[in-house]
Amino acid sequence: MELQKDNTKVKRPFRLVKFFTFTCLIVMFAGTIVIAAVNVHWVKNLLQHKNEDYAHLLIENLNHQVFLQFIIPVVLKYGKIRLREENQYKRMDRVVKNTVHSFNVEMVNIYDMKDIISYSLDKKKIGIKNTGGTGFKKAMQGKATSTLVQQGNALELFFGFPEETRLVTFAPIRAERPLSSISGPVLGVVEIVQNLSKNYKDIFKLQILVISTCFFVMGILLLVLIFVVRQGELILKKRAEEKLRLEEKLRRAEHLSAIGEMTAGISHEIRNPLGIIKSSAELLQKKMKKLDASSAIPAIIVEESMRLDNIIKDFLNFAKPRNPDFKACRVEQIIEKNISYLETEIEENHFEIEKRFSDNLPDIMADHGMLYQAFLNIILNSFQAMPGGGRIIISIFSDDKSIILIFEDNGKGIKDNDLKKIWNPFFTTKEMGTGLGLGIVKNIIESHMGEIKVSNRSSGGVQVEIILPVKEA
């Protein structure tokens, strides 16, 4: 519960960081899209203006060619312009096509003064009346105009990239004056249609490329951002968990310290009368042998007094562990001493001890007596887990920095729920246990700057792993 609260505290400020970071990323992306759209709009306008200028120059050239190569020769030869006549039409058609050849012109229409198409690259349009509209009227007033005509579905028109885009330009056809610009009277109107669809599609492809690049770059930035944010969250989470572990360890230490002081005081007070009870029972036992040799009551009192004294010793060892007296020693020799001490019990209960010791094990700086007590408790726990006999494997090996001991038995193992509680003081599953044995072992190993782990074996039984640092003597 406390871990969840602490994680919530960690996430709150980090949510703000993520919010601002992702918001900035979205704003940057939106800004890039807007800039791309503005650039495309600017390119479109520039393209339209350039094509308008291009159309005006082309019309001026066409006006010049028509006046010099068609109007003047026809008027001099025939006295009047009649495009309905085949020879005049062919002459006009040749002049127009030669002028606009190789230029990006889709259609050319020439209107007479009455808004009738007198000439067109599309013969079907010749003779059509009143199609010039506003462009024709302004051209008759001497003004050139250009209009962008777009065709496509609603989606294409909405995004500004229709299927077809044409620039329609109307300009007057004027008579030329010698050695001057075209500035004579209006003789008619010319309409030029330029197909800009390809140019607009190229612009659309460019915009798609820009947007795709933005998506790609922003996607990479997003992935990097997500990675950085997650790493930050993991670091903060680990720090929060470490903080909680340290706080829990501190609380546990304070709690155990209080228990230790209380236990030490009570044990001291109990030990004195217990000693008197034990000595009195031993004296009573001697006297009862003379009076009634069959009486077992004094022996029971002595035995229980000794058991109670051992329990008090466990309390004192757990509550107030002594500091190790570091001296050079060899762990394999300590194990051999444990096995020698338990030799009678091993034979009587049919236990088998298998030793797997590596060669050239290093010496370590440790308290021989404390490690002897810790290893003895572990072996005795294995004995108690195998009341009908069994096998214990003791492995010892080392690396450059530590020496590792592994104790394995083939007993029933420890229940998963109980495995989480084995380090709790006074927790035991044994009828006669105090629940302090493993706690004492843990205190001894940690006082040597080591580690201890207890787990169930996959094949059955328990495995105890102890890691002790190797220190030079």
Percent of all residues in the chain with a pLDDT value above 90, rounded to a whole number:
6
Residue with structure tokens 């029972």? 281
If pLDDT is split at 50, 70 and 90, which confidence band does 287 have? confident
- What CATH number should be reported for the domain holding residue 454? 3.30.565.10
Which of 135, 165, 195 is the last residue in one of the domains? 195
Tell me whether residue 436 is in a domain: yes
Residue 169 corresponds to which tokens in the numbers above?
Answer: 């330009």
Tell me whether residue 97 is in a domain: yes
pLDDT digits (tens, 9 = 90+) for 13-24: 566 667 777 787
What DSSP assignment string belongs to 86-145? HHHHHHHHHHHHHHHTTSS-SEEEEE-TTSBEEEESSGGGTT-BS--HHHHHHHHTT--E
Decide if 193 contacts 167 (C-beta within 8 A).
Answer: yes
Tell me whether residue 336 is in a domain: yes
Beta bridge partners of 367: none
Rounded Cα distance, 440 and 428, in Å: 13
If pLDDT is split at 50, 70 and 90, which confidence band does 43 have? confident
Phi, psi of 405 (to 5 degrees): -120, 135
If pLDDT is split at 50, 70 and 90, which confidence band does 124 have? confident
How many Cα neighbours within 13 Å face the side chain of 268?
8
Which of 195, 223, 245 is the last residue in one of the domains? 195
Tell me whether residue 104 is in a domain: yes
Tell me whether residue 442 is in a domain: yes
Residue 414 host element (H or E): none
Residue with structure tokens 């006009």? 92
Query: Cα dist. 61→11, 68, 75, 142, 344 in Å?
Result: 73, 11, 20, 16, 124
Tell me whether residue 186 is in a domain: yes
> What letter would DSSP give residue 69?
I
Q: Which of 186-195, 339-348, 451-460 has the lowest mean pLDDT?
A: 186-195
- Can you point out the beta strands (E) in 221-350? 327-329
pLDDT of residue 311: 67
Rounded Cα distance, 336 and 224, in Å: 58
**CA 129 centroid distance within chain:** 70
Query: Cα dist. 211→36, 233, 440 in Å?
Result: 8, 32, 68
Nearest Cα to 409, choosing from 442, 437, 386, 429? 386
Residues 332 and 189 placed together within one structural domain of the fold: no
pLDDT digits (tens, 9 = 90+) for 430-455: 655 555 667 778 888 888 889 989 88
Residues 20 and 162 placed together within one structural domain of the fold: yes
Give the 3-state secondary structure of residue 399. Answer: coil
Residue 306 host element (H or E): helix 297-319
Residues 188 and 327 placed together within one structural domain of the fold: no
Q: Report strand pairing: 351-357 vs 390-398.
A: parallel
- Once rounded to an integer, what is the mean pLDDT over residues 244-263? 73
Percent of all residues in the chain with a pLDDT value above 70, rounded to a whole number:
79
Decide if 21 contacts 229 (C-beta within 8 A).
Answer: yes
Mean pLDDT of the chain: 79
Rounded Cα distance, 335 and 341, in Å: 10
Decide if 470 contacts 401 (C-beta within 8 A).
Answer: yes
Rounded Cα distance, 56 and 44, in Å: 18
Rounded Cα distance, 191 and 170, in Å: 5
- What CATH number should be reported for the domain holding residue 117? 3.30.450.20
Tell me whether residue 151 is in a domain: yes
> What letter would DSSP give residue 330?
-
If pLDDT is split at 50, 70 and 90, which confidence band does 406 have? very high
Rounded Cα distance, 28 and 88, in Å: 64
Residues in the chain: 473
Parent domain of 354: 323-469
Tell me whether residue 437 is in a domain: yes
Amino acid letter for position 352: E
Residue 234 host element (H or E): helix 197-291
Rounded Cα distance, 463 and 460, in Å: 9
pLDDT digits (tens, 9 = 90+) for 289-308: 666 656 667 677 767 777 67
Decide if 463 contacts 408 (C-beta within 8 A).
Answer: yes
Decide: pTM greater than 0.75.
Answer: no
Which of 195, 220, 236 is the last residue in one of the domains? 195
Looking at per-residue pLDDT, the higher value among 210 and 128 belongs to: 128
Decide if 369 contacts 327 (C-beta within 8 A).
Answer: no
Nearest Cα to 440, choosing from 368, 370, 364? 370
Nearest Cα to 1, choosing from 252, 244, 239? 244
Query: Cα dist. 236→122, 222, 230, 310 in Å?
Result: 77, 21, 10, 47
Could you give the number of structural domains in the chain?
2
Instruction: Using the predicted structure, report yes or no on whether residue 193 has a pLDDT greater than 70.
Output: yes
